[in-house]
Amino acid sequence: MSNTIREYRVEEKLSDGRTVVIQLVDPNDKTVYTEQTYHLSRSALYLKFLTPARELNERELAYLTDCNLYRHVALFAAMENNGKVIPVGVSRYVMPTSVEPSGSAELAFAVSDEFLGCGIETILLTHLRRLAKEDGLQAFFVRVPVADQKMLDILRQFDQELITVKDSRVTNVLLPV
């Protein structure tokens, strides 16, 4: 990945005309990241973490914010309101921890409930795909809870012929980069 990734910051317009800033997650974002989890409903937290809603501990926060920009890349979307940063979404990809890169990475999203349907998920995925292509990735794999049909619809915007395998709790999706 190029050195320009460290300065990655892009402004995008949402479907309603508001501006959102997309930038890299870094270790200094733990507070912002924690704040964003407070904007997720209990059901959204369950869909994202597949466990009952709870606060993130220090170890989880470190994992989610200490990205190495090679095997683990994360972006967050924020809006500014009266000089205060309001986190509205986060997305990431993480390559398996095998010795050699596999050409694929796990993809994850979380968007604040009040901003669902504004296009943030699509914007974040567009930027992650661009960065993943620079990294030489060929596909994302995503574990989508069966109840999260909206996420499957978002992924289908990028590839109508998604490769999926369902079990009782999740749909495993392979999305070409």
Question: pLDDT of the chain along its 177 residues, tens only?
Answer: 444 566 789 999 998 889 999 998 877 766 666 665 655 666 555 555 555 555 667 777 766 677 777 788 889 899 988 888 788 888 889 888 765 556 889 998 888 878 888 899 899 999 999 999 888 889 998 888 887 788 888 888 888 777 788 888 888 888 888
Residue 21, pLDDT score: 94
**Structure tokens belonging to residue 154:** 């978002």
Instruction: Please give the structure tokens belonging to residue 165.
Output: 């395998």
Instruction: Report CA dihedral (176, 160, 12, 65) to the nearest 10 degrees.
Output: -40
Q: Are 124 and 77 contacting, i.e. CB atoms less than 8 angstroms apart?
A: yes
Going from the N-terminus, what domains does the chain have, and what CATH number goes with each? 3-176 (3.40.630.30)
- The answer to whether the predicted template modeling score (pTM) of the entire model surpasses 0.75 is yes
Question: Quick one: how many helices (H) and strands (E) in the chain?
Answer: 5, 8
